[in-house]
Amino acid sequence: MSIYKHEYRAYAGRLTSPWARLGVIVRYALAEAWSSRVTAVLLTLSMLPVIVYLVGIYLANNPMIRMLIMRGKSMIEIDPAYFLKVLQTQCWLALVMTAWIAPRLVSFEIADNALPILLSHPISRFSYVLGKFTALFACLSLVTWVPCLLLFAYQGYASPRPWIFANLHIAGGLLAGSVLWIALLSLLGLALSSWLKWRVVATGAIFAVMFIPAGVGGIITGVLRTKWGFLLNMPVMMSQLWQQLLDVPQTMRADRQLPGASILTVLLLMCGICVLMLNARIRAREVVRG
Amino acid sequence: MSDIEFEGLHVRLGGRTVLNGLTGELRGKAIGLLGPNGAGKSTLINTLLGFHVPSQGSARVFGLDTQRDRARIRQGVGYMPENDSFIGNMTGVRFVRYMAELAGLPAAEALERAHEALFYVGLGEVRYRKVNTYSLGMKQLIKLAQALAHGPRLLILDEPTNGLDPLARQRMIQTLQAIRKEGSIQLLISSHLLRDIDQTCDEVLILKDGRIAALCDIEQERRSQRNFIELEAAGPTEAFCETLRSLGCECASFAGGRIKLVVPDRIGSRDLYVVASQTGMQIRRMQRRRDSLEDIFMRAMEAEPARGELVHL
């Protein structure tokens, strides 16, 4: 029917599968995230350190440049510690991306009370959250494990010695460290954004949740002279986890090092709290108790 | 099989029983859902959509259980919520297309039907404007457009004329009448406004304190109700009433010559004039009226049904 014929007609065409509908949520969420120029600027800025690290790998592996500039010495050592720096830089840039993108994905819909209409369609609350999570995870992947693994692959290509197979654990560490981090950031970003209707406040809250507990953890560590206060200190905790994953010597004193299991437990606990927050908030209807 | 049915449906929310043992079937093409505030209208709608879990009993839409098969039910349902519900930073056509795609339409068909739905409800000219720039009436219409875009079998409208000015309200009513006339969609309309239900529905479900106070076919109910006639007369009204009672009418006379009659269908106006002439009474004014939805509603509100029992009007 042409649109000028103002008559209603029932739809008798084919329908998409439930998985395709999940793809619809992802697609619209990605479109929303990238509709802002700020997102593109942030992505571009996030690529600058990657270019610097890429140049570093090039300099370290090019014999001509090593001879001319470094006089045969290797000033830059491409080892797990080098990739740890790449991972740390990109992961903290991912936090900035999360603080910008996550509120755009959820806060608009929460503020406009769109959930009753969205969830009255044949999608579940789980599909809705999974779709938003996938979109955010995909955006953060662009600045974390994707460039990290590309640098790893370039190092394998540029190295005069067989390098890749001897250092596969670095790739595994980069992937695991990035995926753990961006999964946590995605859940945290969505959970906080779902509770805060104002995007600016949600952005601030994401940074606050990362850094305010770190201060509290520092106080606990200082006053009680215990290493367990670092479990509230996300930067320290993640640095220790990434060092363990990449098999890099720990920079902290032995009595301040946290066991990997306790770090993973805290991360799982944080993810669990985020899931509970999303479960409480992503509903078609609010029920007033009493 | 009727499209909507419930069997001993109880719903508890926040520690309070909101729906209390609803049993019934809704068969009409356009069903009005009436009741005072807190009667459970919106809760019933949300239960039919699978948003609330029944604490006892069950509700079925298209013969499917609202909890087990809610995805399949939602496939065939278009829902227009009572409050503002949209994505404000999207254009009208993008919003409706998004909703149609979520309902399972492929992207190209969803876009085509989004345009059609927006023209159908009268938002064709503003479909490229962002939704948060729409007026209140336009926001109501875009909620209707998104509910229609995927071609549902059942359209659930919660207070569709809420906040509309008289012109916009009339337009909404006309659109609903057109949808009803087209015939492929069953309508379930919840409203406080009896006039809206009267103009758009053929069946009415009246809720009171979470129970069914009345469930009836509006037209049939009107037909089954007797004719009410109000007279203003001069002369011996008592004799007139006595004669009419002997003919099977109900008659009550009041001060100032006012008489209220309930007459069977076989007695017409001419018969009244004949009786008046025979008893020497003058009829100075006669007003005939049938039961209005308001009468049906008021009787349902006055009656106190036993648990799980329907009031027979």
CB spacing of A6 vs B119 below 8 angstroms = yes
Q: For A219-231, what is the mean pLDDT?
A: 87
- CA A235 to chain B, closest CA, distance in angstroms equals 35
Residue A258 lies in a domain: yes
Of residues A219, A226, A225, A254, the one with CA closest to residue A240: A254
What is the pLDDT at residue B307? 43
Triad A237, A243, A249: Cα angle to 5°: 120
The CA–CA distances, whole Å, from B261 to B258, B273, B294 equal: 10, 13, 19
Chain centre to alpha carbon of residue B184: 18
Enumerate the residues of chain A whose CB falls inside 8 A of the CB of residue B148.
Answer: 8
Compute the half-sphere exposure of residue B100: CA atoms within 13 Å on the CB side of its CA: 32
Q: If you average pLDDT over every residue of chain A, what do you get?
A: 90
Q: Is the pLDDT of residue A104 over 90?
A: yes
Residue closest to B79 by CA, chosen among B187, B222, B177: B187
**Which A-chain residues 75-114 have CB contacts (< 8 A) with chain B?**
108-109, 111-114
- Is A13 at the interface with chain B, CB within 8 A? yes
How many angstroms separate the CA atoms of B130 and B128, rounded? 7
Nearest Cβ partner for A117 among B46, B79, B151: B79
Q: How confident is the model at residue A174 (pLDDT cuts 50, 70, 90)?
A: very high
Hey, are the CB atoms on B86 and A124 less than 8 Å from each other?
Answer: no
d(CA B144, CA B164): 14
| Chain A residue at shortest CA distance from B150 | A11
Does the beta-carbon distance from A24 to B101 stay under 8 Å? yes
Residue A214 lies in a domain: yes
| Set of chain B residues whose Cβ sits within 8 Å of the Cβ of A121 | 74, 99, 102-103
pLDDT bucket at A117, cuts 50 / 70 / 90: very high
Indicate the CATH number of B225-289 among 2.30.30.110, 3.40.50.300, 3.30.70.270, 3.30.465.10. 3.30.70.270
Q: Which residue of B has its CA nearest to A7?
A: B120
Return the residue of A nearest to B105 by Cα: A15
| Chain A contact for B99 (CB, 8 A cutoff) | yes
Residue that is written with structure tokens 């012109």 in the block:
B167
Whether pLDDT at A284 is above 90: no
**DSSP type of residue B66:** T
Span A235-240, mean pLDDT?
Answer: 92
With H, G, I as helix, E, B as strand and everything else as coil, classify residue B204. Answer: strand
Most confident of A170-179, A197-206, B192-201: A170-179
- CB of B49 within 8 Å of a chain A CB? The answer is yes
| Rounded distance between C-alpha atoms, residue A247 and residue B21, angstroms | 64
| Distance in Å, alpha carbon of B7 to nearest chain A alpha carbon | 23
Question: Domain residues of chain B, as ranges?
Answer: 4-222, 225-289
Question: DSSP readout, B10-35?
Answer: EEEETTEEEEEEEEEEE--SEEEEE-
E strands in chain B: 4-13, 16-26, 30-34, 56-61, 64-65, 77-80, 154-158, 186-190, 203-208, 211-217, 227-234, 250-254, 258-263, 282-289
Model pLDDT, residue B224? 63
Chain A residue with CA closest to B142: the answer is: A117
Among chain B residues, the shortest Cα distance to A119 is held by B51
Contacts of B105 in chain A (CB under 8 A): 11, 13, 15-16
Strand (E) or helix (H) holding A102: helix A80-111
pLDDT at A221: 87
> Is the distance from CB of B292 to CB of B206 less than 8 angstroms?
no
End-to-end CA distance of chain B: 25
- pLDDT digits 0-9 by tens, B50-85: 999 999 999 999 999 999 999 899 999 999 998 889
- Structural domain span for residue A110: 18-281
Q: Do the Cβ atoms of A7 and B150 come within 8 Å?
A: no
Partner residue opposite B146 with nearest CB, options A9, A117, A283: A117
> Which residues, numbered 156 to 185 in chain B, qualify as contacts with chain A under a Cβ-Cβ cut-off of 8 Å?
178-179, 182, 184-185
Query: Can you list the positions of beta strands (E) in B86-173?
Result: 154-158
Whether the per-residue pLDDT at A118 is higher than 90: the answer is yes
pLDDT score, position B304: 54
Question: pTM above the 0.90 mark?
Answer: no
* DSSP-H helix ranges across A247-285: 260-281
**Residue A138: inside a domain:** yes
Q: Which of B104, B143, B184 sits opposite A21 (nearest CB)?
A: B104
A28: chain B residues, CB-CB within 8 Å:
98
In a domain, A145, yes or no: yes
> Which of A150-164, A266-280, B6-20, B165-179 ranks highest by mean pLDDT?
A266-280
Sequential DSSP letters for B227-261: EEEEEEEES-HHHHHHHHHHTT-EEEEEGGGEEEE
Q: Nearest-CA distance from B233 to chain A in Å?
A: 52
The one-letter amino acid code at B35 reads: G
Strands B186-190 and B203-208, sheet pairing: unpaired
Q: Distance (Å) from the C-alpha of residue A183 to the closest C-alpha of chain B?
A: 25
Optimal mutation site among A120, A124, A126, A127, interface B, most CBs of chain B within 10 A: A120
CA B84 to chain A, closest CA, distance in angstroms equals 7
Task: Flag whether residue A123 sits within 8 Å of chain B, measured between CB atoms.
Answer: yes
Instruction: Measure in Å the smallest separation between the Cα of B10 and chain A Cα atoms.
Output: 16
Closest chain A residue to B115, measured at CA: A3
DSSP conformation class of B149: T
The answer to whether the Cβ–Cβ distance between B102 and A21 falls below 8 Å is yes
Beta strands in B95-226 (DSSP E): 154-158, 186-190, 203-208, 211-217
Residues of B in contact with A3 (CB under 8 A): 112, 115-116, 119, 124
Number of domains into which chain A is organized: 1
Mean pLDDT over A27-47 rounds to: 96
Which residue of chain A has the CA closest to B75? A122
Q: Inform me whether the C-beta atom of residue B151 falls under 8 Å from chain A C-beta atoms.
A: yes
CATH topology for B4-222 is Rossmann fold (3.40.50)
- For residues A6-31, give the mean pLDDT: 89
| Residue B218 pLDDT | 80
CB under 8 Å to B130, separation ≥6 — which residues? B88, B89, B90, B91, B92
Which residues in chain B land under pLDDT 50?
306-313
Q: How far is A3 from chain B (nearest CA, A)?
A: 5
**A6 in contact with B, Cβ within 8 Å:** yes
Whether A244 is covered by a domain: the verdict is: yes
Task: Give me the interface pTM, i.e. the ipTM.
Answer: 0.88
Contact B14 A289 (CB under 8 A): yes
